[in-house]
Structure 1
Amino acid sequence: MFNSIFTVRNLIYSIVAFLIILVIATISIFIFIFNDVQGEAQTQGDEAIEVALKETPLTEASDTRTFNAEHSYVTVFGEDESDNGLIVFVPIEEEADSTIDWVEQSNGLTEKEMLDEWRESCSDCDLKQIVPGKMNEQFVWEIIYTNQSRYYFQTFKFETGELYDSISFSKN
């Protein structure tokens, strides 16, 4: 009887030890994958800044974001030598019809102006992301948000804030 209790206790200890090791390994794998993805995004942003500084009037970069549509871009914010705000669109994948392009911030709405206009028409919405982009050779602001039970992906014309395109999906 003593041997069977000792064996059951050892089995329980072994199972608990295995589960603890499994949880630690799973957490370690998730941390590794997360850091790898974050590092890749940082590298992509750094490379886009380097390209933007070489191939556009941009002289100082302050921020990067990613815009995904038909073509994906790293959007680089910064200034030219005259301190004019510029937004540069560096294609993520080199494709025949994707080129590096830029627009002066003064040619359109600022991020704050676009958000103010959007909030006037969508007061109960939960903003997830805003990023400038380029669709069909048109500069746009993309706003991603939730409202009630739907996710919305809306693009607005950069120059005027007028709705350009809208897609929504059910959260469920």
Structure 2
Amino acid sequence: MRKQNSQYTVHSWIKWVLLGLILIVISCLTYLFFLYSDIQDNRTLKYQDSKDAVIEKTSVSQIENITEYNGKNQFHVIFGSTNEGANKIVFVPLNENSGKLTTFNQAEIISQQEIKNSWAKQCEDCELIDITPAIENSEPLWEVTYIDDSNRYIFDYLSMFDGTRVQQYRLKSIFN
């Protein structure tokens, strides 16, 4: 009997291990893709319900944009306009117990761009992350998130009507 050459045994073993690893990696990537898709679908699942409620219950006839705000309560924030051309912001509560929509006329509030300009003058060495609409206790706010010159992550809540600070959270990074 002839013994099989060990060189061929090693090559065969390495080939099967590599093939198995490649299949595991492909399976994991496929799983992660479908998990990500499912999470994204669930995140925007109720957008259509909120859009329908705004069209039905308010004077808004055209919806331009929809975002989310997660504070004490969760809201969909809808930017839209009426048939007369008035621009509105509508806060749609996602809490089952609170079905009341809160609507504000954009002509009566400080614009996002004005808030950004004012912030840039006050905080020259800061890095702006985002400016989003928020609402707390039925008061419309701008949530300005940024990193200040001390490397703190700041949540600044400013009134949409006059730009005054309502609340501010400063988070200091402990890992750098």
Q: Answer yes or no: same fold by TM over 0.5.
A: yes
Number of matched residues? 171
DSSP 3-state at the match of 1:140: strand
Question: Counterpart amino acid of 2:114?
Answer: E
Three-state SS of the structure 2 residue aligned to 1:65 is strand
* Amino acid in the other structure paired with 1:123: E
What residue number does 1:159 align with? 161
SS of the residue aligned with 1:34?
Answer: helix
Which position in structure 1 is the counterpart of 2:111? 110
Q: 1:147 to 1:30 in 2, by over 3 A?
A: farther
Superposed counterparts of 1:9-20, under 5 Å:
9-20=11-22
CA 1:31–1:9: 2 relative to 1, 3 Å: same
Look up the equivalent residue of 2:25 and give its one-letter code.
V
Residue type of the partner of 1:53? I
Distance 1:170 1:9 in 2: 54
Query: 41-50 or 134-143, which moves further after superposition?
Result: 41-50
Q: Which one-letter code corresponds to 1:62 in the other structure?
A: E
Matches within 5 A, 1:123-138: 123-138=124-139
1:33 aligns with 2:38: no
3-state DSSP class of the match of 1:22?
helix
Deviation of 1:146 after TM superposition, in Å, equals 2.4
One of 87, 90, 94 as aligned partner of 1:85: 87
Q: CA RMSD in A?
A: 1.8
| Residue identity opposite 2:93 in structure 1 | P
The letter of the residue matching 1:137 is S
> SS of 1:17's equivalent?
helix
TM score, norm. by length of structure 2: 0.87
Q: 1:169 to 1:46 in 2, by over 3 A?
A: same
TM-score (norm 1): 0.89
**What letter corresponds to residue 109 of structure 1 in structure 2?**
I
**Post-superposition offset of 1:47:** 2.1
Larger Rg: 2
Aligned residue in 2 for 1:22: 24
Q: Secondary structure at the match of 1:66?
A: strand
Unaligned stretches of 5+ in structure 2?
none
Instruction: Please list every run of 5 or more consecutive structure 1 residues that lacks an aligned counterpart in the other structure.
Output: none
Cα deviation, residue 124, structure 1 = 2.6
Amino acid corresponding to residue 56 of structure 1 in structure 2:
T
> 1:30-79 deviations in whole A, cap 9, x for unaligned?
22122222223333222211111111111110000101100110000011
Within 5 Å, which residues of 2 pair with 1:58-73?
58-73=60-75
1:118 deviation in Å?
Answer: 1.4
Shift of 1:95: 2.4
